Amino acid sequence: AQTVTQSQPEMSVQEAETVTLSCTYDTSESDYYLFWYKQPPSRQMILVIRQEAYKQQNATENRFSVNFQKAAKSFSLKISDSQLGDAAMYFCAYVYSGGGADGLTFGKGTHLIIQP
Amino acid sequence: EAGVAQSPRYKIIEKRQSVAFWCNPISGHATLYWYQQILGQGPKLLIQFQNNGVVDDSQLPKDRFSAERLKGVDSTLKIQPAKLEDSAVYLCASSSWTSGYNEQFFGPGTRLTVL
């Protein structure tokens, strides 16, 4: 079974600074997707960024970028120029891309606090 | 485009009572998911539907949980009878193929408290 581990229950960063959230995963598959989701206090889960395992290039979306290390099964999220609106729970998630069942496997989440 | 709708947003019941949650996916989305998110944890998949057929229900506690998706659109998740450990947020998501991937869009969730 696949597992996703987020070892940082909570992280704090000053506004405008850079923060990195860590995620490791375990799978025996070679074809999969990895995601970072943001869940603000209102609870609506929002996709932040996606990485296809077959792509060597790290995904980037504006201020958000990932460091994908496939051999190490590591998938960290870097948020540059942190803003107050970035405060939320962040979840790392995995899905195998080779079958019809594609429910996400989530980590326990990291609570990100932005200090003004 | 309207998002995934869920109701009710909050529900408080006594243990051993029954409860039902409703989800209306984004129009045209063939795949629908129910997740359970216990406080302090990430969401856990309960069941996945493709149209009105079940794709994966391996983590659904079938002795007390049931779900249906009649006509391949709306879905209902039921718990009967509820236990204290069922207190959680129940998230519904729907998906469509985007750039080769089945991107999931989440609803606001239903927060269930079992007393």
Averaged pLDDT, A92-106: 89
CA distance A50 to chain B (A): 10
Averaged pLDDT, A31-54: 92
Write the residue in B42, B48, B103 that is nearest to A91 by C-beta: B42
Which of B38, B106, B110 to mutate against chain A (most A CBs within 10 Å)?
Answer: B106
Residue A115 burial (CB < 10 Å; 0-12/13-18/19+)? exposed
**Is there a contact between B48 and A44 if contact means CB atoms under 8 Å apart?**
no
Q: State residue A53's pLDDT score.
A: 93
DSSP category for residue B16: T
**Is there a contact between A100 and B50 if contact means CB atoms under 8 Å apart?**
yes
Averaged pLDDT, B34-38: 97
Write the residue in A33, A104, A109 that is nearest to B45 by C-beta: A104
Task: Find the range with the poorest average confidence among A78-82, B48-52, B68-72, B97-101.
Answer: B97-101
**pLDDT band (50, 70, 90) for residue B1:** low
Residues of A within 8 A of B41 (CB-CB) are 108-109
Residues of B within 8 A of A55 (CB-CB) are none
- Look up residue A83 and give its two tokens: 């803003």
Write the residue in B55, B104, B106 that is nearest to A44 by C-beta: B106
pLDDT at A32 over 70: yes
* Percent of chain B clearing pLDDT 70 (strictly above): 96
Q: Which residues of B12-36 are buried (b: 16+ CB within 10 A; e: fewer)?
A: ebeeeeebebebbbbeebbbbbbbb
